[in-house]
Chains A and B, each alone.
Chain A
Amino acid sequence: MKMSGPMEMWLGTLGMIVFMGAWEILGFTGILGGAFPALTAVVETVIDPVWRDLFLSAFGSTAWSALQGFLLGISLAMLLASATVLIPPLREGIYRFTATMQSIPVISLGPVFIVTLGREITPIAVASIGAAFAMFVGTTSGLSAARVPHHDLLSVLGATRMQRFIRLQLPAALPNIADGMKLAAPASLIGAIIGEWFGAPSGLGLIIVSALLNYQITLLWGAALLATLLSLSAFGVLTIFQRSIERRFQ
């Protein structure tokens, strides 16, 4: 059942190669129709001098919107999550508030944000909503991770509610907070891209929607590929961050 490390790595690499090979062959032969380009055709489009600058600036502005939304979203989420602990009467209401915010379809908020906040801010706003929910779930579950005896000990030693929060609950919550950030990063990227659908001046979302409507297949897949790379690298960075926190706190 159990496999050794190198064996696992070999199989994993082989799996990736098979996947990419299958994609290449399916796209090259066109079995699935014209809308499935080969992997090399997509990569060629992305690095083609005609499109390269467009892709670069789109990549940059989407990453920047997503990052701003991510930071805004996780700060708001941590404030709300802290409020559920420090001001217990507010807890139930905050839970329902976040669940409701999460279930509002972004596509109906998009047009409103465009008119009220503007075309540049909309992707950031949508990204922050996406990030906030994932982060809120992670933080609230982390804040309840501290054990009751530890709470009792600090209370006996005369710690106030605030001190208990800062010295016990917050440190105990860090692993879960890192977990929440790991989920919030892809969510904020999705939010930024959807926010761009509604007419942002630039970005991967803009390329995706205009390529969809203009039947520019490789452009569409190229933007999708770049969005995936962005998501993967954010996920990778945060995984490293999470590991380091786990080492420090466990």
Chain B
Amino acid sequence: MTGFLASSATDQGIRWALNSFRWALNRYWGVILLIVLWHAWVSIKGYNMIVMPPPSAVAHELIVNADKYIGPMWITFLQALIGLAGGMFFGIALAIVMWFSPVAGGLITPMALVLRSVPVVAMIPVLIRSIGFGTTTVVVVTIIITFFPAFVLCATGLRNLPPNSNDLFGVLGAGRLDRLCRLALPAAVPNILVALRLTAPISVLAAIVAQFLMGSNGLGLVIVRGTWNYEMNEAWGAAILSCTLSIVFFIFASSIEQKGRKHWT
């Protein structure tokens, strides 16, 4: 009897393990494939550690020297987060200004459309040269890059009102401010959340590119230092971490978006 119970328990254990293995494979086979290809590429071509380390070496480096990466990762995290918050804030603020004044809106909108197609990431050197080498520039670059999607999406959201709702507010005698706070802004929330999801992962990458080009600090500096010193383990370790940071930002922003959407509609 007990033997039977025990065996069914192990059976269940095995089944559980199999199921979770299948679940992981189903969702992450792409990522696993990427790592396998990376390993295969390195070993088939016989690249040495200076060209490209195998994934195992990078994982080993990340585990053994974990404390080396915590500081830079924290710096990149902070700079990306401040830049993201700043970009969202300025984007929403300018969209609200435009909403209040159709003249300002008419003046700014076509220019914003032109500026939106500026390849901003490629302009980071221009910004660095113009603002100066330093931490502030990393944040400013991140703000500028997150600003445009926030501004464009928020501006369309503010105008995308439910039909007749504006008339209803007029009939009820609502002022401009009331309309903004109770009608337009709530209507724009889904769009603002989409902007957050779009820009959150990009903010990390923007911060890293700026850090990389200036060699200022954070993970970008670790990547550039690793490349210069032919410590590719270090460069790739930092790259994996920035990848992870960007994905974490994305997952976090997506969950905020889902929660907000559920709450709002």
Contacts and interface: CB of A to CB of B under 8 A. Distances in A.
A107 B119 contact: no
Contacts of B123: 224, 227
Interface in A18-40: 18-19, 32-33, 35-36
B239 A103 contact: no
Given A221-B126, A227-B119, A99 B250 contact: yes
Nearest to A204: B122
A129 to B, nearest CB: 12
Interface residues of B, number: 54
B180 interface: no
B111 to A, nearest CB: 5
B173 interface: no
A190 interface: yes
Given A99-B247, A115-B51, A228-B117, A16 B106 contact: no
Interface in B111-168: 111, 114, 117-123, 125-126, 128-131
Nearest to B118: A228
Contacts of B103: 11
A98 B123 CA distance: 25
Interface stretch (A1-9, A144-152, A159-167): A1-9
B265 interface: no
B246 interface: yes
B238 interface: yes
Given A103-B250, A107-B212, A111-B235, 14 more contacts: A96-B28, A97-B29, A97-B33, A97-B34, A99-B250, A105-B209, A107-B209, A116-B41, A208-B125, A209-B125, A215-B129, A220-B129, A227-B119, A228-B114
A-B pairs, 4 with minimum CB distance:
A97-B30, A11-B106, A108-B239, A12-B110
20 contacts: A3-B102, A35-B131, A96-B27, A97-B34, A99-B250, A103-B205, A106-B209, A108-B238, A111-B227, A189-B122, A190-B122, A194-B121, A204-B122, A208-B122, A212-B125, A212-B126, A217-B129, A224-B126, A227-B118, A228-B118
Contacts of B109: 12, 15
A186 B27 contact: no
B84 interface: no
Among A208, A215, A217, the one with the most B-chain Cβ atoms within 10 Å of its Cβ is A208
A205 B123 CA distance: 9
A92 B107 contact: no
B125 A100 contact: no
B73 interface: no
A15 B110 contact: yes
B52 interface: yes
B223 interface: yes
Contacts, number: 157
A36 B130 contact: yes
B114 A100 contact: no
Contact of B130 (A32, A95, A194, A205): A32
- Counting chain A residues whose Cβ lies within 8 A of the other chain, the interface size class is 35 or more
Interface in A45-98: 89-90, 92-98
Nearest to A2: B102
B201 A103 contact: yes
Contacts of A99: 247, 250
A101 interface: yes
B129 A35 contact: yes
B114 A232 contact: yes
B223 A15 contact: no
A145 to B, nearest CB: 17
A103 B118 CA distance: 21
Given A35-B130, A107-B223, A231-B117, A100 B122 contact: no
Nearest to B106: A11
Contacts of A186: 117, 119
Given A15-B111, A100-B30, A108-B239, A7 B106 contact: yes
Contacts of A115: 47, 51-52
B34 A101 contact: yes
B73 to A, nearest CB: 13
B2 interface: no
Interface in B208-265: 208-209, 212-213, 220, 223, 227, 235-236, 238-239, 242-243, 246-247, 250
